[in-house]
Structure 1
């Protein structure tokens, strides 16, 4: 009798032990699954946050670059405008140099007072530098009939430029002109042996104050 009781008790004990082990294993599996799911959720959330942060950084960098490029472009435009305002140019394009400054000859009462640019009648004449028109008209704009139709422009630092033998004048006294602006058409009016532009650089608006215009322009960086 005692043997059977002992054997039955032993079996019951083993069954209870197996059930406990299974329960523990099942609990561990459930707990592990929950942990894995939680870890996966954390990983996904971190990945999404990282992607968003990266996109924001890329956008911020692009906006900063665009702003820098716009600032650089504005500065370049300003520098170009300032350089143009400060520069000097030839008064005509595609010319041939003819009579030069201080050249002697029977065409002039003493010596030549400027530089001649041989061009066809009707060639566009431009302001060699920005300034204000102080003389414009026939009779050399007051400097004498030898100049024909003429224009004188006042620049800064006591410098004046004169344009003579013009076929047409397209500016008026008091008008402000910019570097390269159209002011007249070339011609052969006045004391002239053929169509050309007579160009002077002066220290006053009047005849008798001319300096070598070619040397002056070259000093300003203009190839003549």
Structure 2
């Protein structure tokens, strides 16, 4: 074989080898995906940093939005819980009568009382159903103020779990007995005009003991437990 022909064959072989190497390299690049992009740019670090920074900012924005939504939901849930607690508190205590007009107030002076008025009067027609303001146990029930004096007429005293007592006086009829468990809103008697009374009404007290002389302002107390008086 002549030297010229040999030279041509050698060059042809080298070209085929280079073409094979380039094809293989192209295949690897295509398979690598993003790796090919870095290879094509010569591993351009600034471009990669820019893309990463943008991704971080986007992620931060998404997380911030999620936190904001979570905060709104938490506030709404707290408000809902508060509303439910208020509603529950109001339901657990109630007025002693449904429709009434407030008449003689707590602490009022006058000839009707030996000292100052020890309760709140609810002016209602004779025979109006009287309800217990909160669940509890009947500890007094009977005439002559159930032991507190004839001025009260027919009266009932109920002990409540929080240590307070409620009293209902001047009743025309008593519908409970000592030791009976009663629930909020349960009818326990009928309003009347018994005892030292100037007309049909309910005399209502909140006490710290079951006995006369321990009364506190009943309207203020009912309002403190969520009852609108």
Written as runs of structure 1 = structure 2, the 5 A alignment for 1:111-130 is 111-130=116-135
The answer to whether the 8 A contact 1:136-1:150 is kept is yes
Could you tell me how far apart the structure 1 residues matched to 2:177 and 2:136 are?
12
Q: CA deviation at 1:84?
A: 7.4
Q: How many residues align?
A: 145
What is the deviation of 1:83?
3.3
What does residue 180 of structure 2 align with?
175
User: Please, which runs of 5 or more residues in structure 2 have no aligned partner?
Assistant: 1-83
Equivalent in the alignment of 2:166: 161
Cα drift, residue 158 of structure 1: 1.4
Deviation at 1:157, TM superposition (A): 2.2
Runs of 4+ in 1 over 3 A off after TM superposition: 82-86
Equivalent position of 1:138 in the other structure = 143
Q: Give me the whole-angstrom Cα distance separating, in 2, the residues matched to 1:106 and 1:85.
A: 36
Does 1:101 find its partner at 2:106? yes
Aligned-residue Cα RMSD (Å) equals 1.8
- Shift of residue 86 of structure 1? 6.7
Equivalence for 1:205: 210
Q: TM-score, normalised by structure 1?
A: 0.62
CA offsets, 1:134-162, max 9 Å, x none? 00000000000000000000001210000
Distance 1:197 1:203 in 2: 20
Aligned positions of 1:20-99 closer than 5 A: 83=88, 87-99=92-104
User: Are 1:85 and 1:178, in contact at CA under 8 Å, matched by a contact in 2?
Assistant: no
1:4-30 per-residue CA deviation (whole Å, 9 max, x = no partner) reads xxxxxxxxxxxxxxxxxxxxxxxxxxx
* Corresponding position of 1:190: 195
- Considering only CA atoms, is the larger Rg found in Structure 1 or Structure 2? 1
Verify the 8 A CA contact 2:89 2:226 in the aligned structure 1. no
